[in-house]
Structure 1
Amino acid sequence: MRIAVDAMGGDNAPQAIVEGIMLAQKNYPSIEFQLYGKESEIRKYVTNDTNIKIIHTDEKINSDDEPVKAIRRKKAASMVLAAKAVKDGEADAIFSAGNTGALLAAGLFIIGRIKNIERPGLMTTMPVMGNPDGGFDFIDMGANADNKPEHILQYAILASYYAKNVRQIENPTVGLLNNGSEATKGSELTKASYELLAAEKSLNFIGNVEARDLLTGAADVIVTDGFTGNAVLKSTEGTAMALMDVLKASILGAGLKGKLGAVLLKDALRGMKKELDYSSHGGAVLFGLKAPVIKTHGSTGPEAVSYTIRQIHDMLESHVIDDLVAYFEEKASDKED
């Protein structure tokens, strides 16, 4: 396995990226890591150069760069070179913590879509409360602001393949995010999407799921349009951060008794924080492309990077992308016939 890494992407690059690679290297010594970026900076954090390949470039894509223009103009940027390595068959997957829009553009324009996929979706695995080992796959998180019912159906198929082949869920349930559980509820988009999902025999579709039930494990896969998905994701993140801040303020404001209580509850509080943190499931997958394209948060740390490498390893080992390419090419052939 060969993973092309944009070592200069993210707020804490290259340190956090390279240190995360070093952590992952211990568990996956056979993976070749291709680190794209400024060699002198990257080498500071390389503690074991086994299967480490550094491809030097001084150019990188910044967080405030306009995505499409950056991909087209910065031909020697670390992210662009990493994407080209995947396109040219020199690497099997690409990973970046950099500019999300630019990575989406690199995936679309350099690596390319799977045949018959109209718009790739951004998917992440979210936590299920009360079940630290559980989770659900949430797609689309914002790759597309406007969607058609056909896109929602494709997202459901993509995420179901991931849940089954990467997360090892035998017959993953699929729910459609909506403002009510009844089939007749929702916008024209969700009602039309419901009909397509219900008619697709390859899916274990269980109907609509309301936002309040997302974190309870209502379904293994939740599908929605990109605008709604992004709003829900940010709302969930904001609520989790606010909850932790309120809890911390309450403890500190309770004086000595509160601080003593915090000491006694330290393990429980640490477990709660971990349960709210979905980075342990890996990064966000731009699904619908010809190879794994994975994005992590710009402020990601070494541990989250190592989780993402585990995720990419599992994706490559399961051949989920190859299966999806075959599935949608067959779909395209059926339409032509």
Structure 2
Amino acid sequence: MESFAGEFTPEQTALRESVRDFFASPGYSWARLAGELGLTALAVAEEHGGFGATAVEAGIVLEEAGAALLSAPLLSTTAAILALDPASGPPEPPIGAPALYPASGLLASLAAGATIGALALGDGVEARPSANGIVLDGRVEHVLDGDAADVFLVEAAGDLYATDAAVVQAVPTLDTTRGQATLILTAAPARPVAPGGAAHALAVVRALLAAECVGVARAALQSTVDHLRTRHQFGVPLSTFQALRHRVADLYVLLEQATSTARYALRCHGTAEFAVAAPLAKLCAAEAAWTITRESIQLLGGIGFTWEHPAHRYLKRATAGHLLFGDPPTLRRQLLAQVL
């Protein structure tokens, strides 16, 4: 089920098709994902070893990753890259602050896929000076892909610090296709990488998560439509029953709204509007994915409740996306505060 929300260039369409085929092939790995396709380097500036694409192309990839329920830390690493890249971050660092990105080594390593990054955002960490530089103390929960990450970009007082010295505690999650972790930082050595960049990092991961949620919703709805077209009752396909057609039509409208909002947010990346468009996209896309995946299980009938059918995996991914980086009430309050 293709969406008609937004136009893509021939190059972007070719990227989508290549990534879709890659995720559909058996035996793909992180090494192939980063090396063969270069997906981690896609939105990195050429001077840092990337291809110089934009957040739009990154969103295309993450839509397909969501549709495939990709079990790899692509979302978290891409978010870390866009949070670090000087071309995509805040326009200017605060007066007197260190350079926005003091060294290109980490960014280049993330782009090459040699390092897996994760964002640890929240107000639970304090940065303080020490004899050897800056250290971090505190605790961050629900760090996406924290169990697989090599380096963490940790928020402290609105700034981002890079550290690899956190104690990582993997936590059980509803969505078993992707891990989460709790970070415990006790005098963990760190260095500033994006002064004042925490708000931008949060907006980035919300916009990317919105794109992934669109892919989850699209795949779940496509599976449901295919079932209704092929499953027969009383000698006719289920898709001929008007009540079911109306329910699917309502879900398709939700999907189109989410798709339009998510893609618009990614096109706004690098502008002042991005700070509002990103949480709005996350709100719309996450709620759409959650609604569509729940309805999908109902519309699939008995098979939708089995472990063999992937419907429950899409529901679990959508449920996690619904809550990560701001649940709907939190996002609504923040959006209201921004527009008043």
Considering the TM-score relative to the shorter chain, is it more than 0.5?
Answer: no
Q: TM-score scaled by structure 2?
A: 0.27
Higher relative CO (Cα under 8 Å, sequence separation at least 6) belongs to: 1
Q: TM-score scaled by structure 1?
A: 0.27
